[in-house]
Amino acid sequence: MKILLVSPSAYPEIKAHGGLMIPQLALHILEGLTPPEHEITTIEEEIAEVDLDAECDVVGISFMTSNAPRAYELAGEFRKRGKKVVFGGIHPTILPDEAAAYADAVVVGEAEGVWEQVLDDCKNNRLKPRYHEGAVSLDRYIPMGSRRVGKKQSFNAVPVMTTRGCPYSCDFCCVSEIYGKKIRHVPISNVVRGIEEAAGDMYIFLDDNIIGDPHYAKELFRAIKPLKIKWGGQASISFVHDTELMRLAADSGCVALFFGLESVSEIQLKKMRKSIKDIARLGEAIKKIKGMGIHFHASFVFGFDDDTPEVFPETLDFMMKNKIGSASLNILTPYPGTRVYTQFKSEGRLISENWKYYDHSTVVYRPKNMTPYELQTGLIGAKKEFSSFGSIFARLPWNMAHPLIFLGSNMAARKNASNDQLKLPNVVNEIFNQATLPNIIPMSLQPALQA
């Protein structure tokens, strides 16, 4: 059979720079699982067009919540043309009944245990509406080749996955619901083999927490050190509590880590059970990690119930004071499958369930201590200020360990802030609509928006 694998874009008219993208590992896993008798093509719509008339027998579409509407649109077009469509990914796993209305089959959860069966059933015209294997063993080696988006470029990192599962149950996250609370490991020998076969220079570990199991992480770092690669990943701030772990990570080629700090509010940090709850100690931890030669990328979330409009200047002040290298600034997003979604739904606080806007950067609910418009424009303002040239140059002298990573990530942040600004009128028209305008937008701003 001829198989087309697609990762849809929430905004297909906007194409990203391939060198700054993280390739969708899910598609490469499916490609590696596909028996050699089949011909397979992979498309990431963020950088390439999807040919609706492509010659294929089955289309596999993997997607998250924000690109679900586009996935459904593509599926409809392919089915009109007589193609079988199979869905997989986070959103179909959380809402399989919704997804089933748009596809011939839905894979719930992880594909490793069912993908070959899906293809065999499709080939023999006995495709079932749903496939679900549950938590699978990660012992099997899956060849994935180079895993690059396109041509090799400066920041075109090769994706790697070493663990699945998370023991925590954060209110705004559904990882433990999808992959379970127990951390499962890929054999380190398989990780090393995959890195060697990819033959890249820069890698990114997609684990939700690369140090979730410190013993495994230490063995992993020891094993990849001889490969002389550069890599980045995501870790909890508890990283600073283990000096040996930090040293091993740095020695193995770690050049950048993403830390979900989430908030500068000590009340909020305590609610989220963070390992460091004191802002002064958090600053010391940032300095320690940067001192190891590791670029510090922070993530903050705005819109918690304790947040007021003061959260924006307070967060900016914290980031500038601590010379944070780069940051992702996000809106609290009540993704389906999370406790925060259930809470906001029951309280009648959701103002949109258009999944396209469940993207970390759009307000889809009523905050407690500010209007949705104040939260939306506060985010845009914070993004623009932190990614301004004045801010970038002020922080540069303290982030010279990896200047290309620093400049690349901050220029990407400038582009992101610009896109959010361009999207604001659509958000106002489609979410902050006329029916709810008086309750959402301050009176002083309404005449200008209605004009």
**Is the model more confident about 148 or about 316?**
316
CA distances from 332 to 171, 360, 435 (A): 10, 7, 23
On the 0-12 / 13-18 / 19+ scale of CB atoms within 10 A, 396 is middle
Find, among 61, 84, 67, 63, the residue nearest to 12 by Cα.
67
Spatial distance between the Cα atoms of 158 and 196, rounded to a whole number of angstroms: 11
Spatial distance between the Cα atoms of 18 and 113, rounded to a whole number of angstroms: 30
In this predicted structure, the answer to whether residue 131 has a pLDDT above a threshold of 70 is yes
- Residue range 24-32: mean pLDDT, rounded: 90
- The tokens of 85 are what? 């469509």
Pairing relation of β-strands 184-185 and 163-164? antiparallel
Considering the domain architecture, whether residues 216 and 356 belong to the same structural domain is answered as: yes
Strand partners, 234: 258
Considering the domain architecture, whether residues 204 and 294 belong to the same structural domain is answered as: yes
Pairing relation of β-strands 230-235 and 202-205? parallel
Share of the chain above pLDDT 90, in %: 72
Contact 127, 104 (CB under 8 A): yes
pLDDT at 22: 65
Name the pTM for this structure. Answer: 0.89
Considering the domain architecture, whether residues 326 and 265 belong to the same structural domain is answered as: yes
- Please give the distance of CA 46 from its chain centroid, rounded to a whole number: 14
Considering the domain architecture, whether residues 193 and 288 belong to the same structural domain is answered as: yes
Residue 235: give the domain boundaries.
158-430
**Is the model more confident about 429 or about 383?**
383
Considering the domain architecture, whether residues 310 and 419 belong to the same structural domain is answered as: yes
The secondary structure element, H or E, covering residue 410 is helix 403-430
Considering the domain architecture, whether residues 319 and 175 belong to the same structural domain is answered as: yes
Number of domains in the chain: 2
What is the band of 432 on the pLDDT scale with cuts at 50, 70, 90? confident
In a domain, 12, yes or no: yes
Question: What's the chain's average pLDDT?
Answer: 88
CA dihedral 32, 173, 359, 346 (to 10 degrees): 130
Considering the domain architecture, whether residues 113 and 168 belong to the same structural domain is answered as: no
In a domain, 79, yes or no: yes
Find, among 289, 259, 264, 290, the residue nearest to 277 by Cα.
264
Considering the domain architecture, whether residues 232 and 328 belong to the same structural domain is answered as: yes
Question: 3-state DSSP call for residue 434?
Answer: coil
In a domain, 219, yes or no: yes
CATH number at residue 57: 3.40.50
Spatial distance between the Cα atoms of 391 and 99, rounded to a whole number of angstroms: 43
In a domain, 436, yes or no: no
Considering the domain architecture, whether residues 176 and 126 belong to the same structural domain is answered as: no
CATH number at residue 174: 3.80.30.20
pLDDT digits (tens, 9 = 90+) for 319-357: 999 999 999 999 999 999 899 999 999 999 999 999 999
Q: Where are the alpha helices (DSSP H) in 143-272?
A: 175-179, 188-198, 214-224, 243-251, 266-271
Considering the domain architecture, whether residues 290 and 388 belong to the same structural domain is answered as: yes
